[in-house]
Structure 1
């Protein structure tokens, strides 16, 4: 450490740009919170704090891998516009990465996503194209496909729902981080299904390290339970990267339970998180309550700053 005016000044971590700060997020010990909610004292309960990524979400991992894979292959060049559909977080991540790397970014998002998400995309200089709010994320997918089909030479279509780099990001970063942070003691991994890249990539890595690790997939309980960031796969366009044989178990969660848990995390655990995080914790607690011991790990995709205008915390 350097000295300043006779005092020891803290060392600073050097990085050439913000993208080098993606990954290596903290694993929070929420065992006390879980024990108060009926989980056995012998069961450990952890959550990966993904809002520590630049852009504020887990999606920074996949977005960076997608962009850099496209750069290596020559699919993404300076004369092309990066385009994709997004319910918010991946779009924000693409906008941030485009700002750093100098790419134009166009994003198709349902018109009813939160105002905060729209503002963040625009803050990074991306162009926002709104799709039919009643058609949700599937409508945004259809819209972006139409745009790309009309002018294929104009765009690099990131296609996060079908891009194997989405899986690879979590296989190479999220999975190894969780394994190392738990010292290989993880027994259950619980995560939501959106693009499904986080669940598939992380789950595959953990299964390779220990086939006994249980993988629990979380999604809305039915098509009427709208939870931002999650898909009800039975009634939605299923991502091409999804591996239907990977999950050991599926847990459905209602919108009401999600909102309640999201508020409880803020008020009882000091965790200001988004709706998909609330759903993941609710499901992980259902799993953990059934155990007499073990290590349950879930993932908190983002913080709550993008959801304030929805009235969740009122």
Structure 2
């Protein structure tokens, strides 16, 4: 009998596409190419599918969890959706804790996969409060926190998957890697892999400018910095304003046909800045999810 793939088997091997119109509009340097890694093509719609599968599979392999157990995670959206999908496939109960100011599409996606959703008041501390609540519930014996912020199986997914894909898809020509920074798993994992192949590759992170509230891009207080994050492995940080990210999300859809989320657009803002400063570079950035996850925010109206 033919061995057909499962939904988990379709995670990864996402397309890498060249931008055509925006580089000219933003007058990038001579000989530069900007490439978009379309992570919204993953089955649950984001780059976080990779980390979710890795964290659950590796916890199973270590004997920490088994089907029927309850998992808990604080999330701003994409990781929660991805974990809910993997939990549904592999037979786990999933409790997700999320600030109540995030889009209704994200909430609906999580519950569609069967997850229990706990909404916390955004004005009570946002993601920091949600993270503390998850750990408190674990201490009370209500389930296991996978903890994407400290779990090395998060960047491992990108060391084993995203990084090698980018290297192969560019035939080793990549010179700059640009990513939004939330849990930092993507930038840490991809950066570690690419640097092992070529130490000269530049790793660029997109962070929110003062006052910006961009889903998926965070600047954590010192006490909440993800334990997987090593600042020495990021060459430069680009501060992205709310207006820049939202305007670029609209431009990316209208001029490149790539309907992506706001943090993806923030990463593109950073990539274009890099491309204006260098020449003969191959710059790849992560399109971490799809724009339909943000329709209720009014960004695309």
TM-score w.r.t. the length of structure 1 is: 0.92
Please report how far the alpha carbon of residue 35 of structure 1 lies from its aligned counterpart in structure 2 after TM superposition. 2.2
Match of 2:25 among 26, 29, 36: 36
Unaligned stretches of 5+ residues in structure 2: none
Check if 1:281 corresponds to 2:268.
Answer: yes
Aligned length: 299
For 1:197 and 1:18, locate their aligned partners in 2 and report how far apart those are by CA, in whole Å: 22
Secondary structure of the corresponding residue to residue 232 of structure 2: coil
Residue number in structure 1 paired with 2:282:
295
Match of 1:140 among 130, 135, 141: 130
For 1:234 and 1:206, locate their aligned partners in 2 and report how far apart those are by CA, in whole Å: 28
Indicate how the Cα distance of structure 1 residues 235 and 220 shifts in structure 2: closer, same or farther if over 3 A, else same: farther
Q: Is the 8 A contact 1:138 1:236 kept in 2?
A: no
- RMSD between aligned residues: 1.4
Query: Which structure exhibits the higher relative contact order, with contacts defined as CA atoms closer than 8 Å and separated by 6 or more residues?
Result: 2
For 1:42 and 1:178, locate their aligned partners in 2 and report how far apart those are by CA, in whole Å: 19
Secondary structure of the corresponding residue to residue 233 of structure 1: coil
For 1:45 and 1:198, locate their aligned partners in 2 and report how far apart those are by CA, in whole Å: 18
Runs of 4+ in 1 over 2 A off after TM superposition: 13-16, 233-236
1:211-250 alignment, distance < 5 Å:
211-222=199-210, 224-234=211-221, 237-250=224-237
For 1:31 and 1:306, locate their aligned partners in 2 and report how far apart those are by CA, in whole Å: 24
Please report how far the alpha carbon of residue 38 of structure 1 lies from its aligned counterpart in structure 2 after TM superposition. 0.8
Secondary structure of the corresponding residue to residue 232 of structure 1: coil
Residue number in structure 1 paired with 2:143:
155
Secondary structure of the corresponding residue to residue 105 of structure 1: strand
Secondary structure of the corresponding residue to residue 195 of structure 1: coil
Q: Is the 8 A contact 2:49 2:82 kept in 1?
A: yes
Secondary structure of the corresponding residue to residue 46 of structure 1: strand
Check if 1:210 corresponds to 2:198.
Answer: yes
Residue number in structure 2 paired with 1:23:
12
For 1:236 and 1:27, locate their aligned partners in 2 and report how far apart those are by CA, in whole Å: 36
Please report how far the alpha carbon of residue 32 of structure 1 lies from its aligned counterpart in structure 2 after TM superposition. 3.9
Check if 1:80 corresponds to 2:95.
Answer: no
Residue number in structure 2 paired with 1:118:
107
Q: Is the 8 A contact 2:21 2:256 kept in 1?
A: no
Residue number in structure 1 paired with 2:44:
55
Q: Is the 8 A contact 2:76 2:216 kept in 1?
A: yes
For 1:15 and 1:107, locate their aligned partners in 2 and report how far apart those are by CA, in whole Å: 31
Please report how far the alpha carbon of residue 235 of structure 1 lies from its aligned counterpart in structure 2 after TM superposition. 6.1
Moved more, 224-233 or 158-167: 224-233
Deviations 1:259-298 (A, max 9, x none): 0101111111111100110100011100011112110110
